[in-house]
Amino acid sequence: MADSRAGRIEGYAIISEDGMLATAARIMPDSLKFDADQQFFGHGLDGVDVVVHGRHSQERQPHSHLRHRLMLTRSIPALAAHPSNEKALLWNPAGASFEQAMSALGMPGANVGVIGGPDVFGLFLDRYDIFHLTRVPNVRLPGGRPVFPGVPARTPEDVLASHGLVPDAQQILDPAQGLTMVSWRRAAKPAAD
Protein backbone atom coordinates (compact mmCIF):
# COMPACT_ATOMS: atom_id res chain seq x y z
CA MET A 1 0.00 0.00 0.00
CA ALA A 2 1.77 3.16 -1.11
CA ASP A 3 -0.81 5.78 -2.04
CA SER A 4 -1.83 8.92 -0.17
CA ARG A 5 -5.63 8.54 -0.32
CA ALA A 6 -7.49 8.71 2.96
CA GLY A 7 -8.56 5.30 4.23
CA ARG A 8 -11.75 4.51 6.06
CA ILE A 9 -11.79 5.42 9.76
CA GLU A 10 -14.02 3.41 12.10
CA GLY A 11 -14.52 3.76 15.86
CA TYR A 12 -15.62 1.09 18.34
CA ALA A 13 -16.75 1.57 21.94
CA ILE A 14 -18.90 -0.13 24.55
CA ILE A 15 -20.20 2.17 27.27
CA SER A 16 -22.23 2.30 30.47
CA GLU A 17 -25.56 4.10 30.79
CA ASP A 18 -23.72 7.23 31.88
CA GLY A 19 -21.35 7.17 28.89
CA MET A 20 -18.25 5.65 30.54
CA LEU A 21 -15.87 3.16 28.96
CA ALA A 22 -13.87 2.37 32.09
CA THR A 23 -13.67 3.19 35.78
CA ALA A 24 -11.81 6.19 37.17
CA ALA A 25 -8.90 3.79 37.78
CA ARG A 26 -8.78 3.13 33.98
CA ILE A 27 -10.07 -0.40 34.46
CA MET A 28 -12.67 -1.83 32.12
CA PRO A 29 -14.98 -3.69 34.52
CA ASP A 30 -16.52 -7.09 33.78
CA SER A 31 -19.89 -5.32 33.75
CA LEU A 32 -18.89 -3.90 30.31
CA LYS A 33 -17.65 -7.22 28.88
CA PHE A 34 -20.02 -9.33 26.76
CA ASP A 35 -19.36 -12.12 24.28
CA ALA A 36 -21.76 -10.64 21.70
CA ASP A 37 -19.93 -7.30 21.75
CA GLN A 38 -16.52 -8.98 21.70
CA GLN A 39 -17.55 -10.91 18.59
CA PHE A 40 -18.84 -7.76 16.91
CA PHE A 41 -15.66 -5.88 17.86
CA GLY A 42 -13.32 -8.69 16.79
CA HIS A 43 -15.06 -9.12 13.45
CA GLY A 44 -14.89 -5.36 12.87
CA LEU A 45 -11.17 -5.14 13.61
CA ASP A 46 -10.47 -8.12 11.34
CA GLY A 47 -11.74 -5.84 8.56
CA VAL A 48 -9.31 -2.94 9.16
CA ASP A 49 -5.58 -2.66 8.46
CA VAL A 50 -4.42 -0.60 11.43
CA VAL A 51 -5.66 -0.28 15.03
CA VAL A 52 -5.19 3.07 16.83
CA HIS A 53 -5.30 3.41 20.62
CA GLY A 54 -3.91 5.12 23.69
CA ARG A 55 -1.20 3.68 25.88
CA HIS A 56 -3.64 2.17 28.39
CA SER A 57 -5.89 0.50 25.82
CA GLN A 58 -5.49 -2.61 23.71
CA GLU A 59 -7.94 -5.06 22.27
CA ARG A 60 -7.17 -8.54 23.54
CA GLN A 61 -8.26 -10.78 20.70
CA PRO A 62 -6.91 -13.89 18.95
CA HIS A 63 -5.75 -11.82 15.96
CA SER A 64 -4.29 -8.89 17.91
CA HIS A 65 -0.68 -9.94 17.27
CA LEU A 66 -1.27 -9.80 13.51
CA ARG A 67 -2.42 -6.19 13.46
CA HIS A 68 -0.47 -3.07 12.66
CA ARG A 69 -1.08 -0.41 15.28
CA LEU A 70 -0.44 3.18 16.30
CA MET A 71 -0.16 3.62 20.05
CA LEU A 72 -0.55 7.19 21.33
CA THR A 73 1.78 8.48 24.02
CA ARG A 74 3.18 11.84 25.09
CA SER A 75 6.40 10.15 26.21
CA ILE A 76 7.99 10.75 22.80
CA PRO A 77 8.06 13.96 20.74
CA ALA A 78 6.52 12.61 17.52
CA LEU A 79 7.10 9.04 16.27
CA ALA A 80 9.17 6.15 17.61
CA ALA A 81 9.46 2.41 17.17
CA HIS A 82 7.50 0.37 19.69
CA PRO A 83 10.00 -1.29 22.04
CA SER A 84 8.64 -4.82 21.66
CA ASN A 85 6.14 -4.95 18.78
CA GLU A 86 7.54 -4.58 15.28
CA LYS A 87 4.05 -4.05 13.86
CA ALA A 88 3.44 -1.07 16.16
CA LEU A 89 4.56 2.55 16.19
CA LEU A 90 4.42 5.01 19.08
CA TRP A 91 2.74 8.26 18.02
CA ASN A 92 2.38 11.68 19.63
CA PRO A 93 -0.05 13.76 17.53
CA ALA A 94 1.54 16.95 18.92
CA GLY A 95 4.63 16.19 16.82
CA ALA A 96 3.36 14.27 13.78
CA SER A 97 0.14 14.23 11.81
CA PHE A 98 -2.01 11.13 11.46
CA GLU A 99 -0.94 10.88 7.81
CA GLN A 100 2.73 11.10 8.81
CA ALA A 101 2.19 8.36 11.40
CA MET A 102 0.43 6.10 8.89
CA SER A 103 3.23 6.60 6.36
CA ALA A 104 5.89 5.90 8.98
CA LEU A 105 4.03 2.71 9.85
CA GLY A 106 4.21 1.77 6.17
CA MET A 107 0.41 1.89 5.84
CA PRO A 108 -0.53 5.17 4.11
CA GLY A 109 -4.19 5.26 3.11
CA ALA A 110 -5.00 2.10 5.06
CA ASN A 111 -8.31 1.46 6.78
CA VAL A 112 -8.22 2.22 10.49
CA GLY A 113 -10.06 1.08 13.61
CA VAL A 114 -9.90 3.57 16.50
CA ILE A 115 -10.50 1.82 19.84
CA GLY A 116 -10.00 4.54 22.49
CA GLY A 117 -9.64 5.72 25.15
CA PRO A 118 -11.39 9.08 25.60
CA ASP A 119 -8.82 11.50 24.16
CA VAL A 120 -8.03 9.19 21.25
CA PHE A 121 -11.72 8.82 20.41
CA GLY A 122 -11.99 12.61 20.69
CA LEU A 123 -9.09 13.21 18.33
CA PHE A 124 -10.90 11.54 15.43
CA LEU A 125 -14.40 12.97 15.96
CA ASP A 126 -14.28 15.00 12.75
CA ARG A 127 -12.82 12.11 10.76
CA TYR A 128 -14.85 8.99 11.50
CA ASP A 129 -16.59 7.44 8.52
CA ILE A 130 -18.48 5.33 11.03
CA PHE A 131 -18.57 4.95 14.83
CA HIS A 132 -20.05 1.80 16.37
CA LEU A 133 -21.44 2.62 19.83
CA THR A 134 -22.58 -0.28 22.01
CA ARG A 135 -24.59 0.54 25.12
CA VAL A 136 -24.91 -1.55 28.28
CA PRO A 137 -28.10 -0.97 30.28
CA ASN A 138 -28.27 -0.79 34.08
CA VAL A 139 -24.54 -0.16 34.57
CA ARG A 140 -23.30 3.21 35.78
CA LEU A 141 -19.66 4.18 36.40
CA PRO A 142 -19.82 7.63 38.03
CA GLY A 143 -16.54 9.52 37.77
CA GLY A 144 -15.24 7.00 35.25
CA ARG A 145 -13.42 7.49 31.97
CA PRO A 146 -15.89 8.96 29.45
CA VAL A 147 -16.16 7.74 25.88
CA PHE A 148 -15.51 11.29 24.59
CA PRO A 149 -14.24 14.49 26.17
CA GLY A 150 -17.32 16.46 27.31
CA VAL A 151 -19.30 13.37 28.46
CA PRO A 152 -21.30 13.11 30.76
CA ALA A 153 -22.22 16.82 30.61
CA ARG A 154 -23.26 15.96 27.05
CA THR A 155 -24.47 12.57 25.91
CA PRO A 156 -22.21 10.52 23.63
CA GLU A 157 -24.95 10.65 21.00
CA ASP A 158 -25.02 14.46 21.16
CA VAL A 159 -21.25 14.56 20.70
CA LEU A 160 -21.41 12.25 17.66
CA ALA A 161 -24.28 14.22 16.10
CA SER A 162 -22.48 17.53 16.66
CA HIS A 163 -19.57 16.19 14.63
CA GLY A 164 -21.70 15.37 11.60
CA LEU A 165 -22.50 11.71 12.28
CA VAL A 166 -26.02 10.30 11.90
CA PRO A 167 -27.39 7.11 13.46
CA ASP A 168 -28.39 3.92 11.65
CA ALA A 169 -31.21 1.85 13.12
CA GLN A 170 -30.42 0.30 16.49
CA GLN A 171 -29.22 -3.33 16.48
CA ILE A 172 -29.68 -5.71 19.40
CA LEU A 173 -26.39 -7.52 20.05
CA ASP A 174 -27.67 -9.56 23.03
CA PRO A 175 -31.41 -9.54 23.71
CA ALA A 176 -31.12 -11.25 27.10
CA GLN A 177 -28.68 -8.57 28.34
CA GLY A 178 -30.39 -5.68 26.57
CA LEU A 179 -27.15 -4.91 24.74
CA THR A 180 -27.75 -2.45 21.89
CA MET A 181 -25.48 -1.07 19.18
CA VAL A 182 -25.92 1.91 16.89
CA SER A 183 -23.57 2.66 13.99
CA TRP A 184 -23.18 6.41 13.42
CA ARG A 185 -22.20 7.34 9.85
CA ARG A 186 -20.84 10.53 8.40
CA ALA A 187 -23.62 12.34 6.63
CA ALA A 188 -23.04 12.56 2.88
CA LYS A 189 -21.82 15.98 1.77
CA PRO A 190 -24.10 17.75 -0.71
CA ALA A 191 -22.73 17.55 -4.26
CA ALA A 192 -20.82 20.65 -5.36
CA ASP A 193 -22.33 22.67 -8.26
Ligand X SMILES: NC(=O)c1ccc[n+]([C@@H]2O[C@H](COP(=O)([O-])OP(=O)(O)OC[C@H]3O[C@@H](n4cnc5c(N)ncnc54)[C@H](OP(=O)(O)O)[C@@H]3O)[C@@H](O)[C@H]2O)c1
User: Which residues contact ligand X (rule: CB under 6 A)?
Assistant: 13-14, 21-22, 26-28, 32, 53-57, 72-75, 92-93, 115-120, 123, 145
Q: How far apart are CB 29 and ligand X at their closest, in Å? A: 9
Q: How far apart are CB 96 and ligand X at their closest, in Å? A: 10
Which residue of this chain has its Cβ atom nearest to ligand X in the complex?
A: 54
10 Å Cβ neighbour count for 78? 15
Decide if 59 contacts 51 (C-beta within 8 A).
yes
Q: Mention every residue, 6+ apart, whose C-beta is less than 8 A from residue 153.
A: none
4 vs 75, which CB is nearer to ligand X? Answer: 75
10 Å Cβ neighbour count for 95? 14
Q: How far apart are CB 51 and ligand X at their closest, in Å? A: 11
7 vs 116, which CB is nearer to ligand X? Answer: 116
Q: How far apart are CB 1 and ligand X at their closest, in Å? A: 25
21 vs 110, which CB is nearer to ligand X? Answer: 21
4 vs 33, which CB is nearer to ligand X? Answer: 33
Decide if 16 contacts 32 (C-beta within 8 A).
yes
- The letter for the amino acid at 39 is Q
63 vs 74, which CB is nearer to ligand X? Answer: 74
Q: How far apart are CB 136 and ligand X at their closest, in Å? A: 9
